[in-house]
Amino acid sequence: MNDLSIKYSEENISIFWNGVHWRDISNYLYMNVLRKIPPYSCWKEFVDNFSDRENKEAKMLTLNILSKKSCFTIELFKKLKERGFSDLAVNHALEYAERIGALSDEKKIMYYIEKAMQKGRSENWVRSSLKIYQLDEVLIDKCFSNYPGSSKEVIRSVIEKKWNWKINKDPRQKKKMIHYFLRKGFRYEEITAAQEESE
């Protein structure tokens, strides 16, 4: 016997060569990789063809995902693994996306910071929410140091838009304002300094 055989199950598809198990693949890889590889004459040729096709498919899917929404590297890694790609194919795809500039954790962090600050979020809140993406703390520090705004400016902007008129109408609103910013992760010193500048 000198051939490829396949066994199907509800969870995955098992590939055998000469009766020896090689690898389990997902339905996605079966449809988009295995069924599309060119003819082969030996085991090595089959493996090379499968790997080449898997790498190409991983790259194509990566660009398709990134064309719809920017992602952190860990998010994209999980999406590709969910489709059943090997670690090698996933890493090739991520490296390719980074090389052409389609994937950048630094740019994504900067965008994340900007959007959060526009919504009145604090640096502490942003740092805490970024933890789930397993990002390098040094990179996060770098992004905050490069961000042109500051927590005090964010607070002052929100105070001028939302709180000054309330406080002028009722001074007791100042305590509510401080609680509002504390819940968003700002420090008391930042809040009072920004409030004094906005008066």
DSSP 3-state percent helix, strand, coil across the chain (nearest 5): 65, 10, 25
- Phi and psi based region of residue 83 (left: phi greater than 0; alpha: psi -120 to 50; beta: remaining): alpha
Q: What is the number of domains present in the chain?
A: 3
Reported as a single tens digit per residue, the pLDDT across 73-101 is: 999 999 999 999 999 999 999 999 999 99
Secondary structure element (H or E) that encloses residue 5, with its range: strand 4-8
Q: Does residue 105 have a pLDDT over 70?
A: yes
Burial bucket for residue 97 (CB in 10 Å: 0-12, 13-18, 19+) = buried
Cα-based distances in Å from 152 to 23, 111, 169 = 55, 19, 23
Residues 46 and 84 in one domain: yes
Parent domain of 183? 151-198
Residues 142 and 90 in one domain: no
Predicted TM-score of the model (pTM): 0.75
Question: Across residues 193-198, what is the average pLDDT?
Answer: 73
Q: Does residue 52 have a pLDDT over 70?
A: yes
pLDDT, position 149: 65
Residues 128 and 182 in one domain: no
Residues 23 and 56 in one domain: yes
Question: Across residues 143-168, what is the average pLDDT?
Answer: 76
Residues 37 and 84 in one domain: yes
Residues 43 and 114 in one domain: no
Residues 94 and 119 in one domain: no
Question: Across residues 179-191, what is the average pLDDT?
Answer: 79
Residue 8's domain is classified under what CATH number?
1.10.10
Residue whose structure tokens are 């509510």: 176
- 71: confidence class by pLDDT, cuts 50, 70, 90: very high
Reported as a single tens digit per residue, the pLDDT across 13-39 is: 999 998 899 999 999 999 999 999 988
Residues 10 and 94 in one domain: yes
Residues 85 and 140 in one domain: no
* Averaged pLDDT of the chain: 88
